[in-house]
Amino acid sequence: MIYSADMGVGKVAGIKIDQATGEMKTVWVVDDTTNAFQPLIGPKDKRVMLLSNARKNVEKEPIKLALFTGNYKEQVTWRDAATGRIIAQSDFFEPLSIGALITPGFGGRVYFPTGKGFITLQVMPAAAPPASK
């Protein structure tokens, strides 16, 4: 598969190419506003895509203006690379450095570079709900 992201329209897509015919087919498209690289991690049969996802602080503000003023927040999403389905997602933080890479690290950690430094993230199991009395 190959992947395509367009921050202007706020979409990311997974695309397959038939090696025999060269035909391209869109497999999935998700709403995700990112200007970052899209690294893939994990074994080929369980590939995970790391994406940033920007959310404007002022909904009607044009994305280009929000981007250049830093008037938005951003999160990391871990997606099934074959389907685009979200596996895990972080909270929203200060913006990722423009055009940066969410860098995979040792032990499942990822590094989210911002203008103020790096935020280190790692997927953890969801906390069990409190037992009812």
Q: Is residue 107 part of a domain?
A: yes
Q: How confident is the model at residue 22 (pLDDT cuts 50, 70, 90)?
A: very high
Q: Is residue 133 part of a domain?
A: no
Max distance between CA atoms of the chain, in angstroms, equals: 62
Q: Is residue 131 part of a domain?
A: no
Q: How many domains does the chain have?
A: 1
Q: Is residue 20 part of a domain?
A: no
Q: Is residue 52 part of a domain?
A: yes
Q: Which of 22-31, 65-74, 95-104 is predicted most confidently?
A: 22-31
Q: Is residue 128 part of a domain?
A: no
- Whether the CB-CB separation of 94 and 116 falls below 8 Å is answered with yes
* DSSP letter, residue 81: T
Q: How confident is the model at residue 116 (pLDDT cuts 50, 70, 90)?
A: confident
Q: Is residue 12 part of a domain?
A: no
In tens, the pLDDT along 93-112 reads 998 888 889 999 998 899 99
Domain interval for residue 107: 35-120
